[in-house]
């Protein structure tokens, strides 16, 4: 019994006394065996729970780490390792390895007060700036107080909040401009210009132009909101770019929008199919073709192509227009950005067309590319993966 008790104390939980001896000795041996069985079961349960908890924490997107009362690293998961650059063989204080004074101060404050604390922290890792929502909680073991910290990466959330703020500001500014013009013309007409036959129709024409611009802007904002809410044009339907091109170009020709330009259509005989709804595909081509017309002088050439290449269905809209500078090419897909603001306003542009194209293309599972040079034209290309089973050509 003494040997079994020593073995159990040493962690050899498979040792048992067995049915030996008589009377009280036999009863004591059975009691030790039951105690060993219970101890084994509890340790097994604790190991299973610890393994489950470790797997859960390790798989969290949030960074989690724990330090003891001397700031030595006790535990960390992969997310914390990525954010803070922690290593398993860290020796000494954790703050010697990671120079983040805000997190160190947060942990010290929590340890001293015994109360949870939180703080938003900016962390630079290489060329990337992370915004972390850091929360620390203290714990006690054997009279010593350690700290567990959870780091939630809110970088994208803060970026989206900034985008929303900028979007609201841009919308307000863009709506204010035509509204101010409309109000000015209306006040002029009410002030007596309505009886000025030389100018009243001109003023009404200006008002109509600004109302049309407002209508286009509101329509584009609603379209963008709908696209983002429904994840673009992704659905189970498969449509052919060739049919979309034929319908859109025919509509432009009937409306007389192409009468000052030469429009070429190059589609070939093979289907160029995309997993997306026809309305979204039409909207993509409509925005690209409308841009090409606006920024191509009279007698210019606009070419619309569709072909398959390397597993992708490609739509191209190329023009011989004014082109886009290298600096502007980096920003043309931003909302309300215009490479040529004066010309864009004159032609009724809202600055949302290419943002819509980008979101819809992402909805098809693809991307939009641009190749342009000032004074020599622009080519936009929408690359979307060909649906499984759809026929392809070499392109």
Taking every pair of Cα atoms in the chain, the longest distance, rounded to a whole number of angstroms, is: 127
Alpha-carbon distance of 209 to 182, in angstroms, equals 9
- What span, in angstroms and rounded, lies between the C-alpha atoms of 110 and 135? 9
What pLDDT shows up at residue 265? 93
Where does 2-72 have alpha helices with state H?
Answer: 2-9, 23-58
What is the reported pTM? 0.53
Question: How many other C-beta atoms can be found within 10 angstroms of the C-beta atom of residue 132?
Answer: 24
> How many C-beta atoms surround the C-beta of residue 159 within 10 A?
11
Tokens for 32?
A: 């030790």
Secondary structure E strands in the chain:
63-67, 73-76, 117-125, 128-141, 144-153, 238-240, 262-266, 273-275, 301-309, 312-319, 367-373, 377-385
Q: What is the predicted pLDDT for the residue at 352?
A: 79
The pLDDT value given to residue 395: 42
Report angle CA 226, 230, 235 to the nearest 5 degrees.
Answer: 130
Task: Find residue 153's DSSP bridge partners.
Answer: 132
CATH topology of domain 158-229: Helix Hairpins (1.10.287)
CB 308 within 8 A of CB 386: yes
The residues spanned by each domain of the chain are 2-57, 61-153, 158-229, 231-395
C-alpha 114/C-alpha 139 separation (Å) is 8
Q: Does domain 231-395 have CATH number 3.30.565.10?
A: yes
Burial class (CB within 10 angstroms; exposed 0-12, middle 13-18, buried 19+) of 68: middle
256-270: burial string, b at 16+ Cβ within 10 Å, e else: eebeebebeeebeeb
What is the pLDDT at residue 88?
A: 64
What pLDDT score was predicted for residue 103?
Answer: 86
For residues 232 and 280, the answer to whether their CB atoms sit within 8 Å is yes
Fold of 61-153: Beta-Lactamase (3.30.450)
Closest listed residue to residue 284, CA positions, set 372, 382, 371, 370:
382
Per-residue pLDDT tens, the chain, 395 aa: give them: 888 888 888 888 788 888 777 778 888 888 888 888 888 888 888 877 777 766 666 667 788 888 888 888 888 888 888 778 776 666 667 777 777 888 888 888 888 888 899 989 888 777 778 888 999 999 887 777 889 888 888 888 888 787 777 777 777 777 787 888 888 889 888 888 888 887 888 888 888 888 887 887 787 777 767 666 665 445 568 899 999 999 999 999 988 888 889 999 999 889 999 988 888 899 899 989 998 998 898 889 999 999 999 899 999 999 999 988 887 887 788 766 666 554 444 545 566 788 888 888 888 888 999 999 888 899 999 999 988 755 554 44
Alpha carbons 257 and 254: distance in angstroms, whole number: 8
Do 231-395 and 61-153 have the same topology in CATH?
no
| Nearest CA-CA partner of 138 in 162, 159, 168, 117 | 117
């Amino acid at each position: 019994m003494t040997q079994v008790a020593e073995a159990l104390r040493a962690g050899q939980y498979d040792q048992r006394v067995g049915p030996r001896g008589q009377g009280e000795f036999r009863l004591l041996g059975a009691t030790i065996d039951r105690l060993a069985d219970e101890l084994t079961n509890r340790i097994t349960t604790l190991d299973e729970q610890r393994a489950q908890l470790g797997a859960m924490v390790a798989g969290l997107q949030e960074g989690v780490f724990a330090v003891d009362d001397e700031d030595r690293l006790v535990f960390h998961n992969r997310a914390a390792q990525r954010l803070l650059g922690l290593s398993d063989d860290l020796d000494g204080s954790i703050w010697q390895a990671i120079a983040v004074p805000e997190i160190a101060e947060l942990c010290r404050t929590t340890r001293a007060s015994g109360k949870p604390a939180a703080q938003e922290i900016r962390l630079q890792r290489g060329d990337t700036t992370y915004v972390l929502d850091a929360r620390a909680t203290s714990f006690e073991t054997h009279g010593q107080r350690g700290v567990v910290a959870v780091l939630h990466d809110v970088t994208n959330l803060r970026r989206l909040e900034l985008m929303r703020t900028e979007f609201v500001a841009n919308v307000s500014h863009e709506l204010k401009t035509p509204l101010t013009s409309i109000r000015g013309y209306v006040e002029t007409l009410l002030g007596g210009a309505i009886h000025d036959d030389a100018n009243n129709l001109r003023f009404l024409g200006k008002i109509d132009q600004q109302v049309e611009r407002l209508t286009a802007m509101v329509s584009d904002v609603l379209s963008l909101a709908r696209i983002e809410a429904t994840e673009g044009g992704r659905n189970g339907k498969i449509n052919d770019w060739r049919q979309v091109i034929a319908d859109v170009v025919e509509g432009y020709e009937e409306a007389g929008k192409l009468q000052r330009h030469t429009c070429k259509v190059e589609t070939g005989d093979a289907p160029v199919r995309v997993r997306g709804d026809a309305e979204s595909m039409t909207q993509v081509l409509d925005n690209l073709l409308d841009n090409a017309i606006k920024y191509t002088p009279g007698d210019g050439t606009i070419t619309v192509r569709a072909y398959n290449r390397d597993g992708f269905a490609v739509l191209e809209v190329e023009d011989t227009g004014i082109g886009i500078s290298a600096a502007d090419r980096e920003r043309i897909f931003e909302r309300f950005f215009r490479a040529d603001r004066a010309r864009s306003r004159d032609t009724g542009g809202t600055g949302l067309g290419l943002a819509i194209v980008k979101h819809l293309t992402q909805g098809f599972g693809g991307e939009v590319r641009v190749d342009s040079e000032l004074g020599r034209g622009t080519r936009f290309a929408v690359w979307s993966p060909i649906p499984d089973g759809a026929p392809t050509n070499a392109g």
